[in-house]
Structure 1
């Protein structure tokens, strides 16, 4: 089913193509821009290039390919990433230095540049703002994703639309994900950068599927300015809402996943501390396998929280489990009150939520992940073959 989010933004057109494992997407949008990137030391060539090009705070287009990550490819890889921007610039009639570039796929392989050049030329001929064009665009960047990911936030004076890919090699400090976000708000580059940084901290950086950090993670945001000026705070809240939707979709689509896992940590001394505990719980293989097996072994949640490096009194914590509709207490101020029958029933659906109160402050944070299934091993055991 086609959906319109990115292409619902004024001033945005897009298109894409997928041929087997190899896809290419183009997005045409001009305006102030900001980006966030993987914290992995082994950054892919397009990441190294974009870290330089985004400093101008302006973009006119984005080109992205799937099937080859163009990572760990040295000087040749960097030159290929630069050539991709030149292909897009020539096809769209814009300066290549104002073209964003991203790649996703297998690490340690060189790009098929003749294929990319042909795909770019073909895709550029049919950029539109239709739902079909957006569907082609998001599918062009998918790899092991099962479902395309879209998000749309509409406010009275502006709109934010986005697409993303990501389902495996997901860990904090961005996971194997690509997100392209556009808004028609009028906002300066400095404010846009700060809003994207904050939104990323509270959403993309709190998604854990498997604990592996990618070489290619990138989120780019372009503001076309075709609507009126916005208040930075109002825009920041809307952008966080948009990114949270994408983050939850990525977590739910984790490789081999059957359940979305959500962990909210309350009562922490700082938001960063709450986020740290939540991520450790989300990442725990023992928690993830228990969720998959619908085993109410909630002690694993407490154990994971205890090794997060955040100080709290284990005898003062409270813990609940929920399926999104019904919420059941497991521990209250250190006292075990779990009804294991109800706890197990809360794990039968496609979403499992734990709420943990540390009793050590007033701050909170939420992280998202998924269960760990046999399918994850199957997918990643044969990824390149």
Structure 2
């Protein structure tokens, strides 16, 4: 992929290791039958770090350990990730295993323990086979396992494809790169879920400003996707900035802060949409645009209500222009609005105008709903509030995958 997006350029085949000073890799250590199941990336120098974590009360052991690492000095130098087993709801033994995983990884890449972070994804309730994991971590130094593509593959669970991107921009006359990778396919819902996203940059930006940017961007990207309405125990977004680009320290007062913010936003939104596109059993990416709300927050709640509706999602899967399900989801969003000011479009096809049906060509609507990317646009009033959310259709295949997830 290569292209121009405003003040930055998308790097062809860009990935999490595109930024200066970063490496990534993956290997098979035996947690899965054949597929790669252990991935890692690290910087050659300590990096400023920020994270956002799942809102589920049952936070998995790796999250607790990683949050502890980030809190120690707002720095990280490397992250190790296993798939297949979530190490969630595993008690004191699971927590000790997460600490041991961090310690082994830190020793292997030669950094202080608090500069290492861990993440896990997979089946809840199983303990990690630490003998296999330890053996796998010990092989990280083997150059045969290097490659961002291997990292992207190793962190997958029910995903059908790898998810990675990188962009280039210029700040203070220096080339800056932002790269990222993600996994996520099921148990995805606004306010984080079963997804892991890791972002790297060689920009010089302090952790406090990085954290503020990440939280703001997460609210309009990762927190605006849904696949099935479930919120999981594990997952997180981490950003590491190692400063190797040599720019002046970025703050919101820097003249080119907005350039950096927009590029970071693009990377996060791209990864979020790829997760939604790759929802378990999904055949379509659905984008919900809401305008005219009383505020951006109100618009976001309405957009989430529409994209989270199983009835809307199944109608999309069946290519049924059942607009009644959309207005129903708008109505139970909890936001105050005038139904007589609500209009709904499927792509460019107007189906509801000012709260009442608008005559439209059912065949053309069906044809549109069979496309791979669907846009639902809702005009809900005359306010200035707007928001966008992403999701997917809900298919028979989703039921098949989740009926036998552990077996």
Q: Give 3-state SS (helix, strand or coil) of 2:122's partner.
A: strand
Contact 1:195 1:235 in 2 (8 A): no
Q: Give 3-state SS (helix, strand or coil) of 2:228's partner.
A: coil
Matched, 1:53 2:53: no
C-alpha distance in 2 between matches for 1:168 and 1:260? 14
Q: Give 3-state SS (helix, strand or coil) of 1:88's partner.
A: helix
Contact 2:14 2:167 in 1 (8 A): no
C-alpha distance in 2 between matches for 1:302 and 1:151? 35
C-alpha distance in 2 between matches for 1:169 and 1:267? 30
Q: Give 3-state SS (helix, strand or coil) of 2:157's partner.
A: coil
- Matched ranges for 1:1-385 at <5 A: 3-18=13-28, 19=30, 20=32, 23-29=37-43, 30-55=46-71, 56-126=73-143, 133-157=147-171, 158-227=176-245, 228-229=247-248, 230=250, 231-322=256-347, 327-339=348-360, 340-385=362-407
C-alpha distance in 2 between matches for 1:82 and 1:3? 34
Question: 1:291 Cα shift?
Answer: 0.2
Q: Give 3-state SS (helix, strand or coil) of 1:50's partner.
A: helix
C-alpha distance in 2 between matches for 1:32 and 1:295? 48
Contact 1:69 1:109 in 2 (8 A): yes
Structure 2 residue ranges without an equivalent (≥5): 2-11, 251-255
1:37-61 Cα offsets, whole Å, 9 max, x none, are 0000000001112222211210011
1:176-216 Cα offsets, whole Å, 9 max, x none, are 10011001111011100011111111000011000000100
Contact 1:3 1:135 in 2 (8 A): no
Question: 1:127 Cα shift?
Answer: 7.9
C-alpha distance in 1 between matches for 2:108 and 2:350? 59
C-alpha distance in 2 between matches for 1:275 and 1:139? 32
C-alpha distance in 2 between matches for 1:80 and 1:308? 42
Contact 2:108 2:140 in 1 (8 A): no
Contact 1:175 1:207 in 2 (8 A): no
Structure 1 residue ranges without an equivalent (≥5): none
Question: 1:335 Cα shift?
Answer: 4.0
Cα 1:127–1:172 shift into 2, 3 Å: farther
Question: 1:143 Cα shift?
Answer: 0.4
C-alpha distance in 1 between matches for 2:334 and 2:353? 22
C-alpha distance in 2 between matches for 1:124 and 1:140? 16
C-alpha distance in 2 between matches for 1:371 and 1:89? 41
Q: Give 3-state SS (helix, strand or coil) of 2:346's partner.
A: strand
Aligned-residue Cα RMSD (Å) equals 1.6
Contact 1:313 1:360 in 2 (8 A): no
C-alpha distance in 2 between matches for 1:165 and 1:367? 18
Question: 1:4 Cα shift?
Answer: 3.2
Cα 1:46–1:338 shift into 2, 3 Å: farther
C-alpha distance in 2 between matches for 1:377 and 1:91? 41
Aligned residues: 378
1:150-169 Cα offsets, whole Å, 9 max, x none, are 12222123111000000000
TM (normalized to structure 1)?
Answer: 0.95
Contact 2:26 2:153 in 1 (8 A): yes
Contact 1:265 1:358 in 2 (8 A): yes
Question: 1:343 Cα shift?
Answer: 1.7
1:92-140 Cα offsets, whole Å, 9 max, x none, are 0001111011000000000011111111111232288xxx701100100
Question: 1:333 Cα shift?
Answer: 2.5
Q: Give 3-state SS (helix, strand or coil) of 1:7's partner.
A: coil
Cα 1:152–1:338 shift into 2, 3 Å: farther
